[in-house]
Amino acid sequence: MSLKKTILTNEQKQEIVSKIKKSNTLKNAPTSNALLQYLHDATLNNTTLKEGVIDIDFFGNKEVTDKNNPRVRVNVYNLRKKLITYYTAEGKDDSWILHIKKGQYKVSFTKTESPQKTFQKINWKVTIPYVLLIGVIAFFTISNTTPKPPELWKEFFKSDSQTNLFIGDHFGITGKTITKGYGWTRDFDINTNEEFHAFIDKNPELKKLIKPSKYSYSTRMGALATQKIQSFFQQHNHNFDIRFSTQTSIPEIKEKNVIYVGPTKNKNQFLPFFNEGNPFCNISNDFITIKNHPKIKDQTIDLKSKTESEEYAIVSKYKSLGHKEHFVFFSQHDIGVSATVAYFTNIDSITKFENNYLKEQHHFTAIFKVKGVNRTDTNIQLLDVIPF
């Protein structure tokens, strides 16, 4: 195949990356999928791409070491193999080829050179009826390209519906740090301005040393979940607005349908809504209790994770104030939310879930056990579903 270089805009490059990520080759490979996006973004930003940088920035390694870590090379090698597989099959007719050259980590693009075509004289009397027929078929095909939304999500994709995606961020404190410098501090027991001022009332000597920060923080989960939900909403010709849980109010929550992605340990405002909207489940102090269900035995599950590589995840869809719908994804760390968002934005798993558990009801709470490495490669197990 003959190749020649040309110029692409950043938007066009992202379209190519997005197409590859949605392909059958990569869509079920979350690490390769996320790594491709990371390398592309880093290339655009002229980030120095070395093994150590990728290991810390992408894989979250907190230890700076001169020793070689094969994790980066192995995962990039696997990504290159998947790109070869993609361009051998699904992408064989693509106009552009994305490369990650051996020994490098930057992403580059080359354009395929179309083979010369032999043009023959066209018999228009014979051809025109077929052209018109193809045009009519194309018109009806294009008019019906937006897929029918799954029953589980239909309230979010109605023509008159609007949605807010709330990302579960973390409240912080500005002032003296443990290193005796000045910076941002996270205390798991302080999640709102009210809790901060209650703490200061008990510790008045700190009043002039610390104050509520103007900034919060969100983990990688927020970006990964937003990416999955954005892609899913685009498929159904719909969009949403993004909010952060520490910077929102009850009126904002009431005004639109809501998706929440984030931890329970930040004591977010959606826990009371969950408890009010669920007739059989209650979350309090990092425990979920199932009680008074006609078919499921009473039980209590401790949601606190002993490790960051294994945890429970709670997914619930329920009716809230003003006839709005809430679709919430809870867990202690990243992997639970990331894995369940991927599950409920995949048409195959949605269909299986609807057929097995939602034949009569439209609302539910589901409990998952999620195991993962590096917060991206995950194994997800559905433990229980409480429909209502």
Q: Is residue 89's pLDDT more than 70?
A: yes
Q: How many domains, the chain?
A: 3
CA distance linking residue 92 with residue 90, whole number of Å:
6
pLDDT at 70 over 90: no
188 shares its domain with 247:
no
Domain assignment present for residue 347? The answer is: yes
Pair (79, 200) in one structural domain: no
Please report the sign of the dihedral spanned by the C-alpha atoms of residue 47, residue 50, residue 55, residue 58.
positive
Pick the last residue of a domain from 112, 131, 155.
Answer: 112
pLDDT digits (tens, 9 = 90+) for 267-280: 888 999 999 999 99
How many Å apart are CA 46 and CA 297, to the nearest integer? 56
Summarised one tens digit per residue, pLDDT across range 215-250 is 888 888 899 999 999 999 999 999 999 999 988 888
Strands 108-112 and 3-4: antiparallel
pLDDT at 15 over 90: yes
Contact residues for 227 (Cβ-Cβ < 8 A; gap 6+): 37
CA distance 57 to 40: 14
Q: What is the pLDDT of residues 106-121, one digit of tens each?
A: 999 999 876 554 445 6
Asked if the structure places residue 35 within a domain, the reply is: yes
| Residues 214, 334, 279: CA angle, nearest 5 degrees | 95
Asked if residue 232 lies in contact with residue 27, where contact means CB atoms within 8 angstroms, the answer is no
Query: Which tokens hold the place of 267?
Result: 């004591």
Q: Is the same domain home to 205 and 104?
A: no
Query: Do 34 and 56 share a structural domain?
Result: yes
In a domain, residue 140? The reply is no
Q: What is the CATH number of the domain that holds 352?
A: 3.30.379.10
Tell which of 212, 228, 243 closes a domain. Answer: 212
Output the CA torsion sign for 310, 372, 273, 244. Answer: positive
For residue 8, which of 94, 92, 115, 80 has the smallest C-alpha distance?
A: 94
Phi and psi angles of residue 54, each rounded to the nearest 5 degrees, phi first: -65, -40
Q: Say how far apart CA 198 and CA 369 lie, in whole Å.
A: 36
- Single out the residue of 334, 373, 348 nearest to residue 24, CA to CA: 348
pLDDT score of 118: 45
By DSSP bridging, strand 96-99 and strand 210-212 are unpaired
- Residue 12: pLDDT above 50? yes
The two three-digit tokens of residue 278, written as one number: 């669920």
Instruction: Give pLDDT, residue 1.
Output: 43
Q: Same domain for 195 and 93?
A: no
Show the domain range for 202.
173-212
- Kindly state the DSSP code that residue 148 receives in the 8-state scheme: P
User: Do residues 276 and 373 both lie within one domain?
Assistant: yes
Does residue 204 sit in the same domain as residue 325? no
Residue 372, pLDDT > 60, answer yes
Looking at the structure, tell me whether residues 79 and 186 fall in a common domain. no
270-317 per-position pLDDT tens digit: 999 999 999 999 999 899 999 999 988 999 999 988 787 899 999 999
Q: Does the pLDDT of residue 25 top 70, yes or no?
A: yes
Residue 20 CA: distances (Å) to CA of 3, 27, 28, 89, 268: 19, 8, 12, 12, 36
Q: Is residue 133 included in any domain, yes or no?
A: no
Using DSSP's 3-state secondary structure scheme, residue 141 falls into helix
| Res 378 pLDDT > 60 | yes
**Contact call for residues 261 and 341 (beta carbons, < 8 A):** yes
> pLDDT tens, 169-179?
989 999 988 88
Per-residue pLDDT of 242-275, as tens digits, reads: 999 988 888 888 889 999 999 988 888 899 999 9
Task: Report whether 340 contacts 368 (CB < 8 A).
Answer: yes
Task: Say if residue 278 is in the same domain as residue 206.
Answer: no
Is pTM beyond 0.85 here?
no
Residue 136: pLDDT band with limits 50, 70, 90:
confident
Mean pLDDT of the region 351-357:
95
Question: What is the SS3 assignment for 163?
Answer: strand
Q: In whole angstroms, what is the distance from residue 221 CA to residue 113 CA?
A: 40
User: Is 137 within the bounds of a domain?
Assistant: no
Question: What pLDDT shows up at residue 3?
Answer: 46
The reply to whether 198 and 57 lie within a common domain is: no
144 falls within a domain: no
84/201 same-domain check: no
For residue 157, is it within any domain? Answer: no
Q: Answer yes or no: do 260 and 347 share one domain.
A: yes
Residue 134 resides in a domain:
no
